[in-house]
């Protein structure tokens, strides 16, 4: 197996295309995982499976006795008594399948990562450094499963009908971190050499703005996680005003003040709206500056245009989800497209990596 740490020099073009394509597939599966997670959350299905079986969980219930056993477990948690008491085995099966598919998809992703990785290592198609990085991704994926169970377990507490928002945000953030790391690795393998090396002040400013914007975007997504976790999206379903006010009157009702950012539904929704708007404006600034940079190549300019379309779509999805009072399809698509927008933002940054910091 090659011993150098640089896939740019030790991987053939054919191998780079194959391996980056495999990683892009994993990123696509991660988007699917985020979408399924959104459906699971919005249908209240996440607490339907009371045990965590990383291996045997691949197999769904195959007998009536097993269905009855799982249903009996579900009857022991508060969500059943507070929301679903009396809905019967058929009702339980409806919410069960969303959560089971979510967990099955995660296990399938682990196999799609691990088995080809072993093959590529045995065949000497990747460098040792890259193999180590990809194995770490596998470990992080397994850790993400543990974080998911940590999140679900919070919903089993007395008088609880949903998971704790902070654990939901942790689960979502870990998924996006893994998604971003795999996607950046795929970009670097597919396009190992920057398109050009630029040093104009305009190109440097575009890169700095893009770096700032991706931090703002990640903050907005985290705020969206708290909006989902506290169910704040079901309030103030008008736009741009909230109950006739630009800033809700009960924004600062909790003390200490910082608790409003995480618990107060009015503040949580307003903060997400504000951050989303600032992110859209920041992306607009990136586009304005980046498209003026004549020393950037066609690939970077096309990335800017793609980013513009992506932010328009995501902002429209957010407003639509709010105005329709968070239907399952809209909430799931909005959550998933946030990851798509993050991916496009990473692509823009990857296209700008040849921009020099100083003239």
User: DSSP assignment of 287-355, as one string?
Assistant: HHHHTT-TTS-HHHHHHHHHHHHHHHHHHHHHHHHHHTT--HHHHHHHHHHHHHHHHHHHHHHHHTTTS
CB 165 within 8 A of CB 262: yes
Coil, helix or strand at residue 29: helix
| Total residues belonging to the chain | 359
pLDDT of residue 83: 87
Residues making up the annotated binding site for heme are 272, 334
If you ran DSSP here, which 8-state letter would residue 86 be given?
A: T
- Residue showing tokens 């970009």: 187
- Residue showing tokens 């307003």: 270
Rounded distance between C-alpha atoms, residue 257 and residue 251, angstroms: 9
Among the residues of 76-193, which ranges form H helices?
78-79, 88-122, 128-153, 165-190
CB 194 within 8 A of CB 356: no
Rounded distance between C-alpha atoms, residue 62 and residue 163, angstroms: 28
Rounded distance between C-alpha atoms, residue 77 and residue 162, angstroms: 11
CB 337 within 8 A of CB 52: no
How many of the other CB atoms lie within 10 Å of CB of 241?
11
Residues making up the annotated binding site are 272, 334
**Max Cα distance, the chain (Å):** 72
Residue 94 in tokens: 């409806």
Collect the ranges in the chain with pLDDT lower than 70: 1-10, 197, 356-359
Rounded distance between C-alpha atoms, residue 34 and residue 29, angstroms: 9
pLDDT of residue 51: 79
Rounded distance between C-alpha atoms, residue 230 and residue 111, angstroms: 33
For the chain, give percent helix, strand, coil, nearest 5: 70, 0, 30
Beta bridge partners of residue 297, listed in sequence order: none
Rounded distance between C-alpha atoms, residue 121 and residue 130, angstroms: 10
Dihedral Cα 103, 39, 231, 174, nearest 10 deg: 40
pLDDT of residue 289: 95
Model pTM score: 0.93
- Residue showing tokens 């045995």: 122
Coil, helix or strand at residue 326: coil
How many of the other CB atoms lie within 10 Å of CB of 294?
10
User: CA end-to-end span of the chain, whole Å?
Assistant: 40
Residue 314 in tokens: 């995501």
pLDDT of residue 141: 94
Please state at what angle helix 128-153 crosses helix 165-190, rounded to 10 degrees: 160
Please state at what angle helix 88-122 crosses helix 128-153, rounded to 10 degrees: 170
CB 239 within 8 A of CB 322: yes
């Amino acid at each position: 197996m090659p011993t150098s740490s640089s896939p740019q020099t030790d991987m053939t073009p054919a191998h780079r295309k194959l391996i980056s394509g495999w990683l892009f597939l994993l990123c696509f599966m991660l988007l699917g995982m985020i979408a399924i997670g959104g459906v699971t959350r919005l249908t209240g299905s996440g607490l339907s499976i009371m045990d965590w079986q990383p291996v045997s969980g691949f197999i769904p219930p195959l007998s009536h006795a097993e269905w009855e056993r799982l249903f009996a477990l579900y009857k022991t948690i508060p969500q059943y008594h507070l929301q679903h008491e009396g809905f019967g085995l058929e009702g339980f099966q409806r919410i069960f399948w969303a959560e089971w598919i979510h967990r099955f998809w995660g296990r399938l992703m682990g196999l799609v990562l691990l088995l080809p990785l072993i093959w590529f290592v045995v065949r000497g198609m990747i460098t040792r450094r890259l193999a180590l990085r990809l194995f770490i991704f596998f470990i992080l994926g397994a850790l993400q499963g543990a974080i998911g169970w940590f999140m679900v377990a919070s919903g089993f507490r007395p008088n609880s009908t949903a998971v704790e928002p902070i654990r939901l945000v942790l689960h979502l953030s870990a998924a996006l971190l893994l998604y971003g790391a795999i996607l950046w690795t795929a970009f670097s393998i597919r396009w190992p050499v920057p398109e050009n090396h630029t040093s104009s002040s305009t190109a440097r400013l575009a890169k700095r703005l893009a770096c700032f914007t991706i931090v703002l975007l990640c903050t907005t997504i985290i705020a969206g996680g708290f909006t989902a976790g506290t169910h704040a999206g079901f309030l103030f379903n008008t736009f741009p005003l909230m109950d006739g006010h630009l800033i809700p009157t009960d924004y600062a009702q909790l003390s200490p003040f910082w608790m409003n950012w995480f618990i107060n539904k009015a503040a949580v929704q307003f903060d997400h709206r504000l951050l989303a708007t600032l992110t859209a404006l920041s992306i607009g600034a990136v586009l304005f500056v980046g498209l003026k940079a004549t020393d950037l190549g066609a690939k970077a300019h096309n990335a800017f245009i793609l980013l513009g379309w992506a932010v328009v779509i995501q902002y429209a999805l957010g407003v639509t989800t709010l105005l329709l009072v968070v239907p399952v399809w809209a909430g799931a698509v909005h959550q998933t497209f946030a990851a798509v927008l993050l991916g496009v933002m990473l692509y823009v940054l990857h296209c700008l990596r040849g921009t020099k910091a100083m003239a």
